[in-house]
Every structure is written in C-alpha cells, then in structure tokens.
Amino acid sequence: IPEHSLDRDCTTLSRHVLQQFQSFSPEAQDLSAIMSRIALAAKLISRRLSRAGLMAGVLGFTGEVNVQGESVKKMDVYANEVFISVFKQSGLVCRLASEEMENPYYIPENCPIGRYSLLYDPIDGSSNVDINLNIGSIFSIRQQQGEDLDGQASDLLQDGRQQIAAGYILYGPATILVYSLGHGVHSFILDPSLGEFILSQENIKIPEHGPVYSTNEGNFWQWEEPFREYTRYVHRHEGYTARYSGALVGDIHRILMQGGVFLYPGTVKKPEGKLRLLYETAPLAFLIDQAGGRASDGTRNLLDIVPDKLHMRTPLIIGSTEDVKLVESFIQDWK
Ligand code: AHG
Ligand code: MN
Ligand code: MN
Ligand code: MN
C-alpha cells in the first residue's frame, strides 16, 4: 500500500465503534455517540493539560479532601466536570459515578431516557499533574439494571463482566485512547491537527509473559508476606525490569504492549489496597482480559467481584496471564 493511501483511509473512533457491530442498530449508534463524547472529554482535558503551566489557577490543590480521603487537585475537579458537561443533553447517559464524587451525579434532562451509566476516574495519577508526567483517565460504561430505587445507582453494584465498554486515555507525549466493547482491544492516537482519534492498533494482545514488574516497593514492609516473597523471587531471577510511574494507566499501558505485571496489593493495615473497583480495577481488568491477560485481587478473577458499595477498593494484580498466575501461586502457598 502506498503511504498516501493510509492517510486518506484513516479510521476514526466513531466509525470504528460502528464497524464492530454488524448493523446500524440503536445500540451501535448509542455506543458510537457515547465514545465520541468520551473522546471530546479527552480532547478537552488534553488541551488543558498541554497549556496548564502557562495558565493561572489550573495546577495545584483546591484545599478540599475527596470521599477517598485524598487532597483534591484543580485538574481532578476540571476533568470530573468535563465528563459531566459532555454528556449533558446527550440523552444517552443518565448517571455518572466517579472517584471524585461521593454520590452519583444524575443529569436531569437525560433521566430516565438515558439507559447508560458512566463510571470514571477523571484524572488517574493526580500526583503527576503538577510535574508534567504522564496521567490518564479511566472509563466504564454500564447499563441500568432494573430500577434505581434508592436514587443511589446501587443497581450498578454488579460484577465486572456486566461492563458494556471500558477503556482509558493516556495523556503522554501523544494522547492515546484504548478501548474495548467486548470484541478485542483497540488503540487510537489523537491527531491534534485533525482533532480526531485515529486508529493505530487493532486487536491488541498482551504477551503471555513479560519483563515488566510494576509496583510501589516503598510499601514492601506494609505488604502481606506473599508479596514480599514474590518480590524476592523477582530480585533473584534474571529478565525482570522495574517500572513504576505513579499513574496506573501509564504503567498498565506499558504492560499491555510489552508484557509483565502490575501490583497494588493490600497492606496489613489496609487489606483492600488503594485502587477503586468501579472506576479503576474493573475497567482495566475488562480491557486486559479482552487482550488475553488476567486481573486478580490475589484469590479471585477481578471480573467476578461484586462490589458492596460504589467506592469499594480491591487489591490489584494485573497483566500477562503467566505473571499474574505466578503471583497468585505465592498467595495460594501462603494461605
Ligand atoms: P488517582 O490519581 O486516580 O487517585 O490514582 C492514583 C493511583 C494510581 O494511578 C497509581 O498507580 C497509584 O494510585 C499510586 O499510588 P502510590 O502513590 O501509593 O504508589
Ligand atoms: Mn485520587
Ligand atoms: Mn486513579
Ligand atoms: Mn483519579
């Protein structure tokens, strides 16, 4: 194929979503529209990040503490609101739930017609924002399951296999969007001159095993013993390389491409770990599973976990199947 024909035949995100359905069904059109809105949110956040250091009032903390007990950054608030605003008047999404909001946000004009719910982590890797290192956004689409009787969206407390779509945006040297509708994992690169996400890789498969070992080893003495044992195993064997950026999205993107394992274990004081099931671990588990990898909380496939509350946390071991299983075997032996 001559090079110029590639330029003309570029596949945009919304076209790609439609191509994955066999027909122009209402569901195909809804999901295409939802993904276009998510892409718009990504472009708005990406644009703001690229100029953040030149503008007043964009970086730094707000002084508030969120429901997770974390100090909130101005970019967390901005990105959280961007996702809400792109779904206003869409008729698609009635409810949004995010790491940054104690309760679900209902978009009155979309309720009850909007059959979908968006669950998201607006800025993943907040500690990287002020120093211009890679950060991300994570999203998951779920469908309303029955009645939302308590007005708390508790019908969303379902296992990870109920996700209709999931993905992340990585704001790095380029802005990349990776998503799955349950038919493989596909990545897109934002072409700033077009303002469009263009298909870059289809049906991404994670290697069965890989060299990357990604965890915050500063927590070594707070971990349960099997994680320390696994770490000692890594230290004693050739072929591993440590990579940890402070943003889950970046670390997992590397592992998706190169293979390996990311771990955020629980600690003796906080056995549930840090990462949130509905906004972080379940969407990433859905993606990595679609890429042929595995995600676990140490004993269970992460996709089987049913949350007992919106902000539930889980330990996370995710990546290449062989590597995740090896970590699980250390936990098994210890029990
Ligand atoms: P968030 O910025 O959305 O709160 O998530 C940060 C997460 C994740 O991206 C990262 O892997 C991890 O927290 C880093 O935590 P530590 O600083 O404890 O290593
Ligand atoms: Mn946070
Ligand atoms: Mn996060
Ligand atoms: Mn976050």
Give the three-class secondary structure for 74: helix
Q: What is the pLDDT of residue 84?
A: 97
**CB 316 within 8 Å of CB 273:** yes
Asked if residue 248 has its Cβ within 6 Å of ligand 1, the reply is yes
Asked if residue 76 has its Cβ within 6 Å of ligand 1, the reply is no
**Quick one: which atom of ligand 1 is closest to the CA of 125?**
2
Asked if residue 126 has its Cβ within 6 Å of ligand 1, the reply is yes
* Separation CA 2–CA 124 (nearest Å): 39
**Quick one: which atom of ligand 1 is closest to the CA of 280?**
3
User: Which ligand is nearest to the Cα of residue 127, counting in written order?
Assistant: 1
Beta carbons within 10 angstroms of residue 268's beta carbon: 10
Residues 6+ apart with CB under 8 A from 252: 168, 262, 284, 288, 318, 319
For residue 38, what are its two tokens?
A: 């998510």
| Residue 99 marked as a ligand binder | yes
Asked if residue 247 has its Cβ within 6 Å of ligand 1, the reply is yes
**Quick one: which atom of ligand 1 is closest to the CA of 123?**
3
For residue 21, what are its two tokens?
A: 């359905």
215-224: long-range contacts at Cβ-Cβ below 8 A with a sequence spacing of 24 or more? 215/244, 215/262, 215/263, 215/264, 215/265, 216/244, 216/264, 217/242, 217/244, 219/265, 219/267, 222/267, 222/268, 222/269, 223/265, 223/266, 223/267, 223/268, 224/265, 224/266, 224/267, 224/268, 224/271, 224/334
Q: What are phi and psi of 260, to 5 degrees?
A: 135, -160
The pLDDT averaged over each successive group of 10 residues in the chain (335 residues) is 62 94 90 97 98 94 96 98 95 96 93 91 97 98 86 91 98 98 98 95 98 98 96 98 98 98 96 97 98 97 97 98 98 88
**CB 274 within 8 Å of CB 313:** yes
- Ligand 1 pocket check: which of 45, 49, 124 to mutate, most ligand atoms within 8 Å of Cβ? 124
| Residue type (1 letter), 277 | L
Residue whose CA is at the smallest distance from ligand 1 atom 19 = 216
* Separation CA 44–CA 216 (nearest Å): 30
Closest CA to 260 of 320, 326, 188, 187: 320
**Quick one: which atom of ligand 1 is closest to the CA of 121?**
3
pTM: 0.97
User: How many A from CA of 21 to the centre of ligand 2?
Assistant: 35
Give the three-class secondary structure for 97: strand
Q: What is the pLDDT of residue 23?
A: 82
For residue 235, what are its two tokens?
A: 């230290």
**CB 137 within 8 Å of CB 178:** no
